[in-house]
A = this chain, B = another copy of it.
Amino acid sequence: MKNVAVFGAGRIGRIHAANLAALPGVQLKYVCDAVPAAAADLAQALGAEVSTIDAVFADPSIDAMAICSPTSTHSELITRAAAAGKHIFCEKPVDLSVPRAEAVAQAVAAAGVGCMIGFQRRFDPTFNEARRRMDAGEIGKPEMLVITSRDPGAPPVDYIKQSGGIFRDMLIHDFDVFRWILCADGDEAAWLSATGSVLTDPAVGAAGDFDCTAVTIRTTKGRLCQINTTRRAAYGYDQRFEVLGSAGLLQCGNHTPSEVLQWDANGVKADKPEAFFLQRYAAAYRLEIEHFFACLQSGQPFKTTVQDGVLAQKLADAAAQSAQTGQPVVL
């Protein structure tokens, strides 16, 4: 039985807490949150206790923790958890600063604990099946990747101001998908060009950010990746990618609430994509936390390490710089 504490009882904390509480061999023991009522609600719903960070680190019965608190707390909590010898599941990103993220990675390595970063897309059944077929050679050697990543609407401008910007906040997932799919054989980004615009809301621009971006990456082996992103797709949460190989193409489509087609005088209408990430990646969230504990059990490496978190962060930095200067970045 693994005893676990969850830090953060917000939207994503509640997801992870419920998923891990349902796993055989895992017990959710503590919930911590800066807002006591949030911690109490979640703890009660799942039969856990409210606790404090200090108490959790001091409790030798705790094996692992899930860090779901604000981004600004991640590096400190990971570092302390590592020092306390606890295994760590941490939501993305490691840290908005690459040097700090690297320091965290070193601390984790030094402590010898497990640290998995929550890049949940690698656990999505559709994306995962594409990667599986790619590994099985069904499309030959990968050559190009096109990622379409669009949110249904922008978050509040106050959030955007402290988000690190669209490349670090939103595209961090896409940079990880790029590395997971196009660099699966050890290839890495060699050249990156990014540009952005403010097309959906001037307030985003006033906050110093973009709401639409276009990124191109060329790898050491000459593979090409294009990522297009917007904060506001009127038709919902659009999460697709396609990878072209020497023998074919794998195309990952959106998931939908139902498989109903409605035929009428206006045309043939299918469902919009699942509403947002909580719906779209519901299975992925469940599978990633299951993977975390399965790896702790088996000693197998995680699919998404703290190093993956650092490398995605570096791409985000490069993209932000390129979009700012109008010049490509050689990596």
Contacting pair A218 B193 (CB below 8 A): no
Contacting pair B143 A230 (CB below 8 A): yes
The 8 A CB mask of A131-168 against B (1 = contact, 0 = none) is 00100001110011010101000000000000000000
Q: A143-B230, A218-B197, A328-B326 are in contact. Are A260 and B271 (CB under 8 A)?
A: no
Residue among B24, B126, B148, B255 making CB contact with A146, cutoff 8 Å: B148
- The A236-293 residues at the B interface (CB cut-off 8 A) are 236, 238, 244-255, 257-272
Q: Which of chain B's residues have a CB closer than 8 A to the CB of A126?
A: 258-260
Contacting pair B252 A264 (CB below 8 A): no
Contacting pair B264 A247 (CB below 8 A): yes
Q: Complex: how many Å from CA A224 to CA B268? A: 23
Contacting pair A259 B252 (CB below 8 A): yes
- A269's nearest neighbour on chain B, judged by CB, is B267
- A268's nearest neighbour on chain B, judged by CB, is B270
Q: Is there a chain B Cβ closer than 8 Å to A223's Cβ? A: yes
Q: Complex: how many Å from CA A236 to CA B232? A: 33
Contacting pair B146 A246 (CB below 8 A): no
- A142's nearest neighbour on chain B, judged by CB, is B199
Q: Which of chain B's residues have a CB closer than 8 A to the CB of A115?
A: none
Contacting pair A235 B212 (CB below 8 A): no
Q: A143-B230, A195-B218, A226-B228 are in contact. Are A267 and B263 (CB under 8 A)?
A: no
Q: A138-B264, A195-B224 are in contact. Are A257 and B216 (CB under 8 A)?
A: no
Contacting pair B328 A193 (CB below 8 A): yes
Q: Which of chain B's residues have a CB closer than 8 A to the CB of A198?
A: 222
Contacting pair B250 A144 (CB below 8 A): no
- Beyond A143-B197, A268-B272, 7 additional pairs, beta carbon < 8 A: A24-B45, A125-B257, A150-B244, A191-B326, A198-B222, A235-B267, A252-B258
Could you tell me which A residues sit within 8 Å of B by CB distance?
22, 24, 45, 125-126, 128-130, 133, 138-140, 143-144, 146, 148, 150, 191, 193, 195-200, 212-214, 216, 218, 222-226, 228, 230, 232-236, 238, 244-255, 257-272, 326-328
- Can you name 11 A-B residue pairings with CB atoms under 8 Å? A128-B258, A143-B230, A144-B230, A146-B226, A197-B223, A199-B246, A214-B224, A247-B265, A252-B260, A263-B272, A268-B272
